[in-house]
Amino acid sequence: MKLGGIKSVENAHDDSVWAVTWVPATANRPPLLLTGSLDETVRLWRSDDLLLDRTNTGHCLGVASVAAHPLGSLAASSSLDSFVRVFDVDSNATVATLEAPPSEVWQMRFDPKGAILAVAGGGSASVKLWDTSTWELVTTLSIPRPEGPKPTDKSGSKKFVLSVAWSPDGKRLACGSMDGTISVFDVPRAKFLHHLEGHFMAVRSLVYSPYDPRLLFTASDDGNVHMYDAEGKALVGTMSGHASWVLCVDVSPDGAAIATGSSDRSVRLWDLSMRASVQTMSNHTDQVWGVAFRPPGGSDARGGRLASVSDDKSISLYDYS
């Protein structure tokens, strides 16, 4: 397996690009690339040529996360001011504006069926679940406070939730927090299951394998990527190689590889059968905040695509084969 560079857009945004995701193809258009930036805009790009389709404004402070509905019609973007804007991808009409003060908004993910939007709630130590039809807050999945006396140092007992991931069957939700612990929830019963331990620094991104609902990949500031058996609470593997924080991770649609982006300015491709880094792309000149494999489907889905975005204001597109 390997990555081949297809196209890079310098100065795709006016400032650091912090978020990226693919909007799945719909009946009348191919998949689009959705990016969010510190310049307070969200932009849509046509694939392969990376032509700018539209620029959405309206956010204040930087756009920290973007998410796309599995059907491809809706997308959500969130900014540091903790507003979530849900909009129609094709018309840019605002569908809903979500906030749940005092909870902040970090990473967002639609569940695989598209019925729920999960939002990492930062300091509220919870994940908020929004119904995508009514745009009502359905559930708040809170991470329970550990037992024992109240600690006095600043390590605190609260988990600052940064990232969320849905299992492919939509039954499980995992969230990563600032202190490196990962919490797994049973979504249908809205119940906290257990923690996964092994990281001791912020987990900014995590993703379930598309085929194995137990297998979870996590990227952490400690420079490692961990593989967990999310059900069995076991650490299955560790992949080290990045020189600095691993900021983002995504798994390929075929489930054979993962891609990571890091503060060390590189994008790495990891072969899961070898559990080793097989390729390092170093075309970015600053931290790589997002990597995203294009989901399968769509009429012109010729091959796998991987997109990466970086603090250097650029977007890169690679062919994955």
Partner 1 sequence: MASVYIPVQNSEEEVRVALDQLPRDASDILDILKAEQAPLDLWLIIAREYFKQGKIDQFRQILEEGSSPEIDDYYADVRYERIAILNALGAYYSYLGKIETKQREKEEHFILATQYYNKASRIDMHEPSTWVGKDHELAYFCIVGFTAETCQLLLAKGEVEQASAAFKIVIDGDHDNVPALLGQLLRAEYLYMDKVKIQHHILVQACVEFNRGRYSESLELYKVGCMAIFFAIEKSAVRLGIGLCRYKLGQFEKAQQAFERVLHAKNVEALVALAIMDLRTNEATGIRKGMVKMQRAFEIYPYCAMALNYLANHFFFTGQHFLVEQLTETALAVTNHGPTKSHSYYNLARSYHSKGDYDKAGVYYMASVKEVNKPHEFVFPYYGLGQVQIKLGDFKSALSNFEKVLEVYPDNCETLKALGHIYVQLGQTDKGQDFIRRATKIDPRDAQAFLELGELLILSDTGAALDAFKTARTLFKKGGQEVPIELLNNVGVLQFERGEFELAQQTFKEALGDGIWISFINEENKSSIDAATSTLQFKDRQLFHDLESNGHRVEVPWDKVTVLFNLARLLEQLNESGTASILYRLILFKYPDYIDACLRLAAIAKARNNILLSIELVSCNLLALVNDALKVNDKCPNALSMLGELELKNDDWVKAKETLRAASDATDGKDSYATLSLGNWNYFAAVRNEKRNPKLEATHLEKAKELYTRVLIQHSSNLYAANGAAVVLAEKGHFDVSKDIFTQVQEAASGSVFVQMPDVWINLAHVYFAQGNFALAVKMYQNCLRKFYYNTDSQILLYLARTHYEAEQWQDCIKTLLRAIHLAPSNYTLRFDAGVAMQKFSASTLQKAKRTADEVRATVAELQNAVRVFSQLSAASNLHIHGFDEKKIDTHVGYCNHLLSAAKVHLEAAEREEQQVRQRQELARQVALAEEARRKAEEQRKFQMERRKQEDELKRVQQQEEHFKRVKEQWKSSTHSKRRERSDDEEGGTGEKKKRKSGKKRKKDKHSKSRYDTEEPETDMMDEQEMEDEEADVNYREEPQTLMNDDGEENAQGLLAAAGLEDSDADEDMAAPSSSVARRRQALSESDDDEPLQRQSSPVRENSADMQESDGEIREVDKTNGDDASDEEKQY
The contact set with partner 1 (CB under 8 A) reads 15-16, 18, 38, 58, 60-62, 64, 80-83, 97, 99, 101-102, 104, 106, 122-125, 151-156, 158, 160, 162, 178-180, 197-202, 221-224, 226-227, 234-245, 262-265, 273-276, 286-287, 311
Among residues 47 and 126, whose Cβ is nearest to partner 1? 126
Cis status, amide bond into 102, omega within 30 of 0: yes
- Give the Cα separation of 108 and 162 in Å (integer): 9
DSSP character at residue 262: E
Among residues 84 and 317, whose Cβ is nearest to partner 1? 84
Among residues 153 and 300, whose Cβ is nearest to partner 1? 153
Alpha carbon dihedral 294, 313, 219, 78, in 10-degree steps, equals: -80
Among residues 111 and 264, whose Cβ is nearest to partner 1? 264
CB of 142 to partner 1, least distance (A): 11
- Give the Cα separation of 205 and 221 in Å (integer): 10
Tokens for 162? 């940064």
CB of 122 to partner 1, least distance (A): 6
CB of 282 to partner 1, least distance (A): 13
CB of 246 to partner 1, least distance (A): 10
Cβ atoms of 278 and 271 closer than 8 Å: yes
CB of 296 to partner 1, least distance (A): 27
Among residues 7 and 158, whose Cβ is nearest to partner 1? 158
Kindly report the backbone phi and psi dihedral angles of residue 275, in degrees, each rounded to the nearest multiple of 5, phi listed first: 50, 45
The radius of gyration computed from the CA coordinates of the chain, to the nearest angstrom, equals 18
Tokens for 140? 């708040």
